[in-house]
Amino acid sequence: MTTWQEFIKDFSEMSIFLAYNINVDAIKVLRSEDIQKLIDEFGADKIKKRLDEYPREINEPLDFVARLVHALKTGKPNAVPLMNPELNSWFDSKFKYETERIGGQVGIIANLLANLNFKRVIAYSPVLSKKQATMFVHRKNLLYPIIEDGKLSLKMPLEAYREDDPLKINRIFEFRKGTVFKLGSETIEVPFSGRFIVSSRPESVRIEIKEHLKPFLPEIGEMVDGAILSGYQGIKEHYSDGKTADYYFEKAKEDIRLLKKNKDVKVHVEFASIQNKKIRKKVVKEIFPLADSVGMDEAEIAHVLNVLGYPELSDRIFNYNRIHDVVLGGKIILDEANLEILQIHTIYYLMYITRRENPLSEEELRSSLELATTLAATRAFLGDIRNPGDIKVGTKIPYNEQGEFVKLRFEEAKRRLRSKEYKIVLIPTRLVKNPVNTVGLGDTISAGAFTSYLALLREKGLY
Ligand code: AMP
Query: Is the predicted pLDDT of residue 388 greater than 90, yes or no?
Result: yes
Element (H, E) at 363: helix 362-382
Query: Is the predicted pLDDT of residue 377 greater than 90, yes or no?
Result: yes
> What pLDDT score was predicted for residue 200?
86
Select from 154, 181, 200 the last residue of a domain: 200
Ligand 1 touching residue 432 (CB < 6 A): yes
DSSP helix/strand/coil, 25:
strand
Select from 147, 180, 200 the last residue of a domain: 200
Shared domain check, 292 and 175: no
Separation of first and last alpha carbons in the chain: 19
Q: Which tens digits make up the pLDDT trace of 393-432?
A: 999 999 999 999 999 999 999 988 877 899 999 999 999 9
Instruction: State the distance from the centre of ligand 1 to the C-alpha of 270, rounded, in angstroms.
Output: 15
Total domains in the chain come to 2
Q: Which atom of ligand 1 is nearest to the CA of 272?
A: 3
Of all protein residues, whose CA lies closest to atom 10 belonging to ligand 1? Answer: 346
Shared domain check, 154 and 36: no
Ligand 1 touching residue 157 (CB < 6 A): no
Distances (CA, A) of 177 to 167, 211, 237: 32, 46, 36
> What pLDDT score was predicted for residue 105?
96
Ligand 1 touching residue 446 (CB < 6 A): no
CATH code for the domain of 153: 3.40.1190.20
Ligand 1 touching residue 272 (CB < 6 A): no
Instruction: State the distance from the centre of ligand 1 to the C-alpha of 286, rounded, in angstroms.
Output: 27
> What pLDDT score was predicted for residue 219?
98
**Contact, 388 vs 418, CB < 8 A?**
no
- How far is 47 from 40, CA to CA, in rounded Å? 10
The DSSP 8-state label assigned to residue 289 in this structure reads G
- How far is 286 from 247, CA to CA, in rounded Å? 12
Element (H, E) at 365: helix 362-382
> Would you put residue 297 in left (φ > 0), alpha (ψ -120 to 50) or beta?
beta
Shared domain check, 43 and 155: no
> What pLDDT score was predicted for residue 308?
96
DSSP helix/strand/coil, 121:
strand
Instruction: State the distance from the centre of ligand 1 to the C-alpha of 102, rounded, in angstroms.
Output: 18
Select from 175, 200, 225 the last residue of a domain: 200
CATH code for the domain of 31: 3.30.1110.20
Shared domain check, 341 and 255: yes
Q: Which tens digits make up the pLDDT trace of 195-206?
A: 999 998 888 899
Residue 85: pLDDT band with limits 50, 70, 90: confident
Of all protein residues, whose CA lies closest to atom 5 belonging to ligand 1? Answer: 442
Shared domain check, 344 and 314: yes
Give catalytic residues, as residue numbers.
443
Shared domain check, 453 and 381: yes
Instruction: State the distance from the centre of ligand 1 to the C-alpha of 373, rounded, in angstroms.
Output: 9
- How far is 305 from 298, CA to CA, in rounded Å? 11
Shared domain check, 363 and 284: yes
366 residue type, one letter: R
Residue to mutate (ligand 1; options 438, 446, 450; most atoms within 8 A of CB): 438
> What pLDDT score was predicted for residue 463?
86
Shared domain check, 381 and 256: yes
Domain residues for the domain of 189 are 27-100+167-200
Q: Which tens digits make up the pLDDT trace of 126-146?
A: 999 999 999 999 999 999 999
Question: Across residues 135-161, what is the average pLDDT?
Answer: 97
Shared domain check, 384 and 262: yes
Lowest mean pLDDT among 101-105, 117-121, 199-203, 439-443: 199-203
Instruction: State the distance from the centre of ligand 1 to the C-alpha of 297, rounded, in angstroms.
Output: 9
Query: Is the predicted pLDDT of residue 306 greater than 90, yes or no?
Result: yes
Shared domain check, 295 and 194: no
Of all protein residues, whose CA lies closest to atom 17 belonging to ligand 1? Answer: 431
Of all protein residues, whose CA lies closest to atom 23 belonging to ligand 1? Answer: 431
What proportion of the chain, given as a percentage, has pLDDT over 90? 87
Q: Which atom of ligand 1 is nearest to the CA of 349?
A: 12
Nearest to 334 by CA among 416, 228, 423: 423
Residue to mutate (ligand 1; options 346, 347, 434; most atoms within 8 A of CB): 347
Nearest to 408 by CA among 426, 393, 424: 426
- How far is 295 from 297, CA to CA, in rounded Å? 7
Torsion of CA 97, 100, 104, 108, to 10 degrees: -130
Shared domain check, 36 and 131: no
Query: Is the predicted pLDDT of residue 71 greater than 90, yes or no?
Result: yes
Of all protein residues, whose CA lies closest to atom 11 belonging to ligand 1? Answer: 347
108 residue type, one letter: I
Shared domain check, 157 and 43: no
What is the chain's mean pLDDT, rounded? 95
